């Protein structure tokens, strides 16, 4: 019997509590506020908002509650707004706002029965002693783009820098964050940084550079760019080039959104940038079937010793896009030479000498008949640097000095003139000069103390 009594009492107590709980909303109010940037008035979204009570309000440099008790948390919305409902009326509360790049802010307020307390808060940016700029977006493709930024600092260097991008106009609030690396291609007193992003759906994007140090985060201005969804294609170098045929090569880097419907090549010996709209008598169109992103086409009937210009193309419902224009000369290429089409050079595959004075090197080149050609010569110093940069493609080089045909300086003696010619070291690409020969006043030439180094012959393409 006692157990039944205690159970009934407990049930009644709980019911009473439930009834009181149901009546609580009548003793409550709410809080609503908007968080903005103090300098610009712009709303700040995704900021952390904390509601709590406190023992004492301490006024030092800013208002700080002592012994805070956190009651609720939320974040600001797209317009910087926040709200707390069902807050006990009659009590004193604090609201704390915190977000990256801003000084933490506290705000105290009281809530009246059945009313909404106003809690608008303005945020002040932290002084990071940095400046950040968002530069123009470059290399915009069908689904990719390169983001560019620059920072400078007077105190604490940044430990992170990068970009925020989004499809809404304020990327620093909720945008996708990507870190970047310094752009080594530039040289100035500032610090350029760069990041290429890919797999972007077609739409308008907004980007903002940022840099972060121990004090906070600094942002650059907002810039926009448009991803079109158009396919992207590259024209690769022609291969298997002969006197009247060649293989054209291309690569699709992005298939488009929607996917392309046709691909191929256009080539011409008349137009440097041929298109599919050109007259068929001047430009030839060659379509390629299949779905491979790397594609080729064999073309014949070319005119010997004629320069042709080729572009890969792709057609989609959004239009036609072309790769860059690449040229080649329809000509017979012997097995013992390499053609550097973009540099206008033909290069012998092996050194013509491993140790020759400059005069001997000049004679060896000019009398060479490799590949049936008789116009071989020493490369200029700039051409020799090209050979160094493409040494792996050409092959057969040794990591030592090579003669050039470019004179560096002369030295006038009392009865002679010393001639010095430039060279290039194929271990590191550095250039210097070596003594070539001595011309005496009586016309005698001496190479007895001239340098002896390696020789590679070149000729100019027609």
More confidently predicted of 145 and 56: 145
Residues 241-267, mean pLDDT to the nearest whole number: 95
93: nearest Cα among 65, 124, 62: 65
Q: How do residues 18-36 score in pLDDT, each as one tens digit? A: 444 444 556 899 999 999 9
Q: Where are the domains of the chain?
A: 23-123, 130-227, 232-330, 337-460
Q: Which residues pair with 460 in a beta bridge?
A: 345
Burial degree of 26 (CB within 10 A; 0-12, 13-18, 19+): exposed
Pairing assessment for the beta strands 28-37 and 116-118 based on DSSP bridges: parallel
Query: Which superfamily, per CATH, for 23-123?
Result: Immunoglobulins (2.60.40.10)
Asked if pLDDT for residue 188 goes beyond 90, the answer is no
Pairing assessment for the beta strands 294-300 and 306-316 based on DSSP bridges: unpaired
Residues 314-342, mean pLDDT to the nearest whole number: 91
- Say yes or no: do domains 130-227 and 337-460 share a fold: no
Q: Does residue 16 sit in helix, strand or coil?
A: helix
Show Cβ contacts of residue 161 under 8 Å, excluding neighbours closer than 6 positions.
132, 149, 151, 179, 180, 191, 193, 209, 210, 211, 212
pLDDT of residue 4: 41
Cβ contact 425:397 at 8 Å:
no
For domain 232-330, give the fold: Immunoglobulin-like (2.60.40)
pTM of the model: 0.57
Q: How confident is the model at residue 219 (pLDDT cuts 50, 70, 90)?
A: very high
Query: Which superfamily, per CATH, for 130-227?
Result: Immunoglobulins (2.60.40.10)
Q: How confident is the model at residue 15 (pLDDT cuts 50, 70, 90)?
A: very low
Q: How do residues 393-451 score in pLDDT, each as one tens digit? A: 999 999 999 999 999 999 999 999 999 999 999 999 999 999 999 999 999 999 988 99
Asked if pLDDT for residue 9 goes beyond 50, the answer is no
Q: How do residues 82-138 score in pLDDT, each as one tens digit? A: 999 999 998 889 999 999 889 899 999 999 999 999 999 999 988 999 999 999 999
Q: How do residues 34-88 score in pLDDT, each as one tens digit? A: 999 999 999 998 899 999 998 777 654 456 787 889 999 999 998 999 999 999 9
56: left (phi over 0), alpha (psi -120 to 50) or beta: beta
Which range (26-30, 201-205, 230-234, 261-265) has the least confidence?
26-30
219: nearest Cα among 49, 37, 50: 37
Q: Does residue 25 sit in helix, strand or coil?
A: helix
pLDDT of residue 409: 95
Q: In degrees, to the nearest 5, what angle opens at C-alpha 220 toward C-alphas 151 and 182?
A: 35
Asked if pLDDT for residue 17 goes beyond 90, the answer is no
Rounding to the nearest 10 degrees, give the CA dihedral for residues 412, 413, 416, 417.
-20
447: left (phi over 0), alpha (psi -120 to 50) or beta: alpha
Among 2.40.30, 3.30.160, 1.25.40, 3.10.100, what is the CATH number of 337-460?
3.10.100
- What is the percent of the chain with per-residue pLDDT over 90, rounded to a whole number? 78
């Amino acid at each position: 019997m006692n157990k039944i009594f205690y159970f009934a009492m407990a049930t009644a107590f709980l019911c009473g509590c439930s009834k009181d709980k149901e009546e609580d909303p009548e003793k409550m109010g709410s809080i609503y506020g908007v968080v903005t940037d103090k300098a610009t008035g712009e709303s700040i979204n995704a900021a952390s908002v904390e509601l709590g009570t406190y023992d004492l309000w301490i006024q030092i440099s800013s208002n700080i509650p002592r012994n805070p008790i956190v009651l609720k948390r939320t974040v600001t919305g797209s317009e910087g707004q926040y709200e707390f409902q069902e807050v006990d009326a009659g009590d004193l509360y604090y609201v704390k706002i915190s977000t990256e790049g801003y000084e933490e802010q506290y705000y105290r307020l009281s809530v009246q029965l059945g009313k909404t307390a106003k809690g608008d808060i303005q945020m002040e940016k932290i002084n990071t002693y940095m400046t950040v700029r968002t530069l123009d977006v470059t290399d915009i493709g069908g689904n990719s783009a390169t983001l560019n930024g620059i920072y400078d600092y007077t105190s604490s260097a940044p430990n992170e820098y990068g970009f925020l991008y989004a499809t809404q106009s304020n990327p620093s609030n909720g945008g996708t964050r990507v870190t970047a690396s310094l752009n080594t291609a530039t040289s100035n007193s500032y610090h350029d940084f760069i990041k290429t992003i890919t797999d972007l759906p077609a739409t308008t994007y907004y980007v903002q550079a940022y840099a972060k140090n121990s004090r906070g985060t600094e942002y650059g201005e907002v810039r926009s760019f448009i991803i079109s969804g158009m396919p992207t294609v590259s024209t690769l170098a022609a291969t298997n080039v002969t006197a009247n045929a060649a293989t054209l090569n291309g690569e699709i880097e992005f298939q488009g959104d929607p996917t392309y419907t046709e691909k191929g090549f256009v080539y011409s010996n008349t137009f440097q940038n041929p298109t599919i709209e050109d007259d068929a008598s001047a430009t030839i169109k060659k379509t390629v079937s299949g779905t491979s992103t790397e594609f080729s086409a064999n073309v014949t009937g070319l005119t010997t010793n004629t320069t042709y210009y080729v572009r890969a193309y792709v057609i989609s419902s959004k239009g036609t896009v072309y790769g860059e224009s690449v040229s080649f000369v329809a000509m017979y290429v012997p097995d013992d030479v390499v053609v550097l089409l973009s540099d206008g050079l033909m290069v012998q595959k092996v050194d013509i000498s491993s140790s020759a004075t400059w005069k001997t090197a000049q004679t060896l080149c000019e009398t060479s008949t490799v590949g049936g050609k008789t116009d071989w010569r020493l490369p200029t110093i700039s051409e020799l640097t090209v050979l160094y940069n493409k040494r792996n493609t050409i092959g057969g080089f040794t990591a030592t000095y090579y003669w050039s045909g470019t004179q560096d300086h002369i030295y006038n003696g009392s009865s002679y003139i010393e001639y010095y010619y430039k060279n290039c070291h194929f271990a590191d690409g550095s250039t210097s000069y070596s003594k070539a020969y001595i011309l005496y006043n009586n016309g005698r030439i001496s190479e007895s103390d001239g340098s002896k180094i390696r020789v590679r012959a070149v000729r100019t393409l027609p």
